[in-house]
Amino acid sequence: MRVVALMVGLVMLIASCGSGDEPGLLGEDLFTSIVVGGKAGCTACHSTEPGADGIGPSLAGIGSVAATRVAGMTAGDYLRTSITDPDSHLVDGYAGGVMPKGWDLSDAQIDSLVEFLLGL
């Protein structure tokens, strides 16, 4: 009985992530996780500090920068594509095939991650 109550509580907690008054909370949690979708998390390669490039480019200000990367593409679409198909738009100085593909994330999780990144 306790196990069932614990599982119900856990499911309710997970379902409530990102639905409160703090938009992007789930996205921020995903971004800062050590492992995301079975792969190394975002912060293993990306910083949010300006000029602190690593294996991947710094994502400081990416919400504004993303809107200028591909003509006719919104910042949100650019970020979503960069997450789901990372080699489709490579930043100068960075090689393809480095960022993992095939994240085990739901569309809602990707939306939340994009929302968080837009706010950077």
Whether the CA torsion 107, 27, 56, 91 is positive or negative: it is positive
Average pLDDT over residues 65-79: 97
The rounded distance, in Å, linking the Cα atoms of 82 and 99 is 9
The pTM of this model reads 0.76
Mean pLDDT of the chain, nearest integer: 82
Is the pLDDT at 109 greater than 70, yes or no?
A: yes
Going by C-beta distance under 8 Å and a sequence separation of 6 or more, which residues neighbour residue 11?
Answer: none
25: number of CA atoms within 13 Å, CB side? 11
Q: Say if residue 6's pLDDT is above 60.
A: no
Return the pLDDT at 3: 35
- Domains assigned to the chain: 23-118 (1.10.760.10)
**Residue 2 confidence (pLDDT) above 90:** no
